[in-house]
Structure 1
Amino acid sequence: MRRKLGMLALAGGLSMLLGLAVFVVQNLSDFELNDAQVSTLKFRSGDVDVVGTLVLPMDVQSVVLLIHGDGPMDRFASRGYLPLINSLLDAGVGVFTWDKQGIGESGGNWLNQSMSDRAAEALAALARVREEPRVAGRSVGFLGFSQGGWVIPRAASEGDPDFSVIIGGAVNWRRQGMYYTGLRLAGEGRTPAEVEVEVREEYEKNDKVFGHPNDQNAPDGFAEMDRDRFNFVIKNYNEDVTPALKTMKGPVLAVWGAQDVNVNAAEDSNVYKALFSGASGRQVVLVPNATHSLLRAELFNYQLVSQWPIWKQYLFVALGRHAYAPGTLAFISDWIKRPAGL
């Protein structure tokens, strides 16, 4: 009897391991583009050639243009975008994504860009994608993360996307930076009183240094920032999306993870709600147990991907699209495909 029970336990364990292996192998396909039409597109933004990849499902219903967040991002975010892209493709939504300026095959330097420059680039990409015969007659819009939340409202005010999706967008550059700093200090063990003092001092220092866009000289205390990054912050420090939110064209979905440790999701979602009040085709959503990028907060809630321990990186690969908060990607895809985003 004991031997039989042991054999049953072993068989059960092997069955669980086999099921786990099948689950992981299936999710690894989220990092490939197997059943899609893939082509390279080039477009001009100002005096710079920008290069990206258009990925279309066999039955194209809509197309999103991915608008990157901060940092030197290539078109697939070092393959990190692929689970999202494959989820969209499975729902009939194509994707165009490009290397940031100075990254991959694109010319220029992304650190020379203001948010206005990036909005102009997004509109140039929108015009280029709409020229594609396979896209003709389909709705085409923006989907962006984080810093993309300062780009998309400008682009949707100056141009005519069919829809816009903003994930983890901040309203004000200055306030967002201090929120980020406050949580970082608290995580380092500072008391609330100490955090308040340090944040106030940081505000004063940053306002003095970055609040004057014509001053291009980095003072003492900012030696850790290279010249390009310093100038990038100078160029964008006073960015506030409030005016553009009032004039966006097309339906808008704004989404935050409730456990966001980069952006004050509760405060900024309330600003969006107030500014969108009375406007049609506007939806604001706070996703419980989700991070800045809408990943599962219990597993991936870090301020920077560079902070992930190596086993979390492997876990993200093993989970694929299941690394996102449950139901989130399907909700976004369904919203994109609704007529007029309603």
Structure 2
Amino acid sequence: MPASYSSSRRSRTCRQISNPTARRVGMRKHTAGHVLVVGALLFGSSALCAEDAAATGAFDAHEVSFLSHGVTLSGAVIVPRSPVVAAAVFVQGAGSDLRPAPQGEALARFGIAVLVYDKRGIGRSGGVYVGDKPGDVNGSRENLRLLADDAAAAMDTLREERTLRLVPKGFIGQSQAGWIIPQAVLKARGARFMVLWSGAVETTHEDVLFEQLAAAPDFWDQHTHAEVSKMMNDPANSIEFAWADYDPRAALDQLKIPGLWLFGGRDRNADVDLSIERLKGLIARGHSNYEYHLYPSYDHYLGGLNADVVGATVEWTRKALAETRKPTSDSVRARGRRSGTVWP
């Protein structure tokens, strides 16, 4: 049930629709008459209004709206009352939840101002959500491109925030955002960093194959990472797709801003080993602006909204911005050595 808003701003109420805990959007096999949701990661969502935010004492929030492809999208800007480290547009995974208010609130408590928004066709945003009707392919090239345009439009709106004009801005997102944000950075003006939570560096077809292979809850108790690699390369496990593949490396190879990927070693929704291998290849080809961290015991949800992931995101952002001379999506590649690390 969507959040309800009364006609009076003072009496307006925002009802939480789900708890801010990790939950999965199941991905169904792509066959005729089925819906394909690719790259879904949800921590739960809630409606957000300024009154709710102010009550916590940690941050303020106000409603915003912006246009993308003729559709009005609705969201909120959450601003910490403590010193602001950076500002970011938060890009959701592939589910149909409302704006990711819990994620935005968690980041704001650590000093990052965040613009969260209802994706098209959801909540108070206009347009059509791709993923509810038979035959929909949420992870198609066309839809990912459209969602990237929406994220870029959100960045334009964030850049217009008067109190944040001098604050460095970037993108933070989860799961499917790993395919959306790199495209959005190429389209948006002034993006200086990006952070991907469980954002796969694999093609959409590879993602579907891996998720089907790893569907069993005890998958990582029964298979080694080496075995999984062989399974992914076994022609017997191949799948025929009726939709075009998308590879994020084409966009990633063009980006020059600092980028951080946070992965869970027990992820069953994305092939983390393959993603890290691909990132190592990009780094070896000169993309010292990229870095990744692996939490071996975490799954796709990275422990939910915990201090480890949120704190690491903010601390890395602070350091990455300090190490660069204001690189943007239009500037030279960020300097400094970056690599991969494994965290407990």
User: Where does residue 260 of structure 1 map in the other structure?
Assistant: 267
User: Where does residue 25 of structure 1 map in the other structure?
Assistant: none
User: Where does residue 290 of structure 1 map in the other structure?
Assistant: 298
**Aligned-pair distance for 1:275?**
1.0
1:131 aligns with 2:160: yes
Give SS of 1:162's match: strand
User: Where does residue 175 of structure 2 map in the other structure?
Assistant: 146
Q: Which runs of 5+ in 1 are unaligned?
A: 1-29, 211-233, 297-320
Rg bigger for which structure?
1
User: Where does residue 333 of structure 1 map in the other structure?
Assistant: 314
Which letter maps to 1:90? R
User: Where does residue 60 of structure 1 map in the other structure?
Assistant: 84
**Aligned-pair distance for 1:39?**
0.4
Q: How does 1:112-131 map to 2 (within 5 A)?
A: 114-131=143-160
1:180 aligns with 2:214: no
**Using the alignment, how far apart are the partners of 2:72 and 2:96 within structure 1?**
16
Which letter maps to 1:295? G
In the alignment of these two chains, the number of paired residues is 249
**Using the alignment, how far apart are the partners of 2:153 and 2:62 within structure 1?**
18
Asked if the contact 1:258/1:288 (under 8 Å) is kept, the reply is: yes
Asked if the contact 1:156/1:249 (under 8 Å) is kept, the reply is: no
Please list the CA deviations of residues 273-316 of structure 1 after superposition, one character each: whole Å capped at 9, or x if unmatched. Answer: 211332233211112211212117xxxxxxxxxxxxxxxxxxxx
Q: Which runs of 5+ in 2 are unaligned?
A: 1-45, 131-137, 324-344
**CA 1:339–1:266: 2 relative to 1, 3 Å:** closer
1:281 aligns with 2:289: yes
Asked if the contact 1:153/1:248 (under 8 Å) is kept, the reply is: yes
**Aligned-pair distance for 1:163?**
0.6
Give SS of 1:134's match: helix
Asked if the contact 1:254/1:284 (under 8 Å) is kept, the reply is: yes
Give SS of 2:96's match: coil
Normalised by the length of structure 2, the TM-score is 0.66
Asked if the contact 2:104/2:114 (under 8 Å) is kept, the reply is: yes
User: Where does residue 94 of structure 1 map in the other structure?
Assistant: 113
Asked if the contact 1:102/1:110 (under 8 Å) is kept, the reply is: yes
**CA 1:196–1:166: 2 relative to 1, 3 Å:** closer
**Aligned-pair distance for 1:186?**
8.1
The answer to which structure has the higher helix fraction is: 1
Q: How does 1:30-49 map to 2 (within 5 A)?
A: 33=53, 34-35=56-57, 36-49=59-72
Normalised by the length of structure 1, the TM-score is 0.66
**Identical columns (%):** 24
**Using the alignment, how far apart are the partners of 1:244 and 1:274 within structure 2?**
14
**Using the alignment, how far apart are the partners of 1:98 and 1:158 within structure 2?**
18
Please list the CA deviations of residues 85-127 of structure 1 after superposition, one character each: whole Å capped at 9, or x if unmatched. Answer: 3332222111111001111100001318611111111111101
Which letter maps to 2:67? R
Give SS of 1:338's match: helix
The CA RMSD over aligned residues, in Å, is 2.8
